């Protein structure tokens, strides 16, 4: 059974081509296979409604609006290079469709090869899973989410676009052992640390790409107990993974210089060291090392331990993820 009839197909195709051209100008989508996926998969089918933040709360835009002007606004918004809020509960954002250019960057960094199997953590709208299906084939794509309403919607959206990946409802921190092993794992939700179950479900040499702090960590898996890698250069902001235990909310510490407190790279370090390093210690490190960028940091997972580091996993600046005492070596 093919895709359902789409009355917005023609206008959507034009808007989609404009979006792809815009993303390509940033230097991503150089791989023809990924460019073809973004050109062919209609994003508007995955966001039949979404929410726009305003002064009075969230405004809902949807494809069935009786006002033609609002329907047009909905379609234009579906092809803007911005994240779209798709589920709001009690005033809190619980699910979204990520910014397309960031999705393209992540998929490019995932470095997939023909024949590989991919696990996605955080089904969202299903759009990212559909892009993976276009690139690899639907039988090689698995997506997991904790919320049954989200997985039901993702499955329906993918089917409307002509794709049927394996969509599972469950705790993303546990992975999907019945579909393992995986050659790639990609998460679209922020983590406090790397779930050990993921490594056990990976093939040797697999890659894991996941948001951590306000960056993207790319880990190479050596075996079921060991993985290591560095952060990508750019920032990344995602909804937190539900099912894992997040760190306690951290208030902006007082007594820090305003310029440091407002700096994105220092905020990244603060989040990465939360619960492990005093904020003023973090500030001293940051200043001493000349305000290091994200790609100088990395993460090592080994034998049940996880630690973040600056420049060298065996160097002087090392601290555990998710524990209370810094581990300076």
| pLDDT-derived band at 246, boundaries 50, 70, 90 | very low
**How do residues 273-320 score in pLDDT, each as one tens digit?**
988 889 999 999 999 999 999 999 999 999 889 999 999 999 999 999
Query: 95 an active-site residue?
Result: yes
Is the pTM above the cut of 0.85?
Answer: yes
Residues 6 or more apart whose Cβ sits within 8 Å of residue 310: 285, 289, 292, 296, 297, 317, 318
User: What is the side-by-side strand order in the sheet with 118-121?
Assistant: 166-169, 141-145, 118-121, 182-187, 202-212, 215-223, 226-231, 297-302, 305-310, 318-320
Six-digit token string for 166: 């394996």
CA-to-CA distance for 217 and 201, rounded, in angstroms?
Answer: 18
Residues of each domain in the chain carrying CATH 3.40.50.150? 9-231
More confident residue, 99 or 95: 99
Active-site hit among 95, 101, 153, 213: 95
The verdict on domain 9-231 having CATH code 3.40.50.150 is yes
Residues 6 or more apart whose Cβ sits within 8 Å of residue 288: none
Our CA dihedral for 99, 100, 101, 103, rounded to 10 degrees, sits at 90
Q: Say if CB 39 and CB 16 are below 8 A apart.
A: yes
CA-to-CA distance for 43 and 126, rounded, in angstroms?
Answer: 10
Six-digit token string for 47: 């966001």
Phi and psi torsions of 224, nearest 5°: -65, -10
Mean pLDDT, rounded, of the chain? 90
SS3 268: helix
Is the backbone peptide bond immediately before 207 cis, with ω within 30 degrees of 0? no
CA-to-CA distance for 138 and 7, rounded, in angstroms?
Answer: 25
Q: Say if CB 324 and CB 275 are below 8 A apart.
A: yes
**How do residues 154-173 score in pLDDT, each as one tens digit?**
999 999 999 999 999 999 99
Enter the DSSP assignment of 23. H
């Amino acid at each position: 059974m093919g895709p359902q009839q789409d009355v917005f197909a023609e206008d959507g195709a034009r808007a989609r081509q404009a979006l792809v051209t815009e993303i390509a100008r940033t230097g991503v989508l150089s791989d023809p296979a990924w460019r073809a996926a973004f050109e062919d998969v209609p994003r508007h089918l995955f966001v039949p409604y979404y929410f726009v933040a305003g002064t009075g709360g969230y405004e809902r835009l949807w494809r069935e609006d009786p006002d033609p002007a609002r329907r047009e606004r909905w379609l234009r918004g579906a092809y803007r290079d911005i994240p779209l809020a798709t589920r709001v509960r009690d005033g809190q954002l619980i699910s979204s469709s990520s910014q397309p250019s960031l999705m393209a960057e992540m998929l490019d960094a995932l470095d997939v090869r023909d024949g590989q199997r991919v696990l996605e953590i955080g089904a969202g709208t299903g759009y990212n899973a559909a892009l993976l299906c276009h690139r690899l084939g639907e039988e090689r794509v698995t997506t997991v989410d904790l919320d049954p309403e989200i997985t039901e919607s993702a499955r329906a959206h993918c089917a409307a676009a002509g794709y049927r990946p394996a969509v599972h409802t469950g705790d993303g921190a546990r992975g999907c052992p019945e579909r393992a092993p995986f050659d790639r794992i990609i998460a679209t939700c922020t983590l406090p640390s790397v779930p050990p179950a993921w490594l056990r479900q990976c093939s040797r040499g697999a890659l894991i790409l996941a948001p951590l702090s306000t960056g993207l960590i790319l880990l190479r898996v050596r075996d079921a107990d060991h993985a290591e890698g560095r952060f990508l250069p750019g920032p990344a902001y995602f909804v937190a993974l539900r099912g894992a235990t997040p760190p306690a909310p951290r208030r902006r510490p007082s007594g820090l210089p305003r310029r440091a407190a407002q700096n994105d790279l220092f905020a990244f370090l603060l989040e990465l060291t939360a619960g492990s390093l005093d904020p003023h210690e973090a500030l001293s490190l940051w200043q001493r090392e000349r305000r290091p960028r994200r790609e100088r940091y990395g993460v090592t997972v080994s034998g049940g331990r996880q630690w973040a580091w600056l420049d060298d996993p065996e160097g002087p600046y090392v601290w555990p993820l998710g524990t209370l005492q810094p581990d300076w070596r």
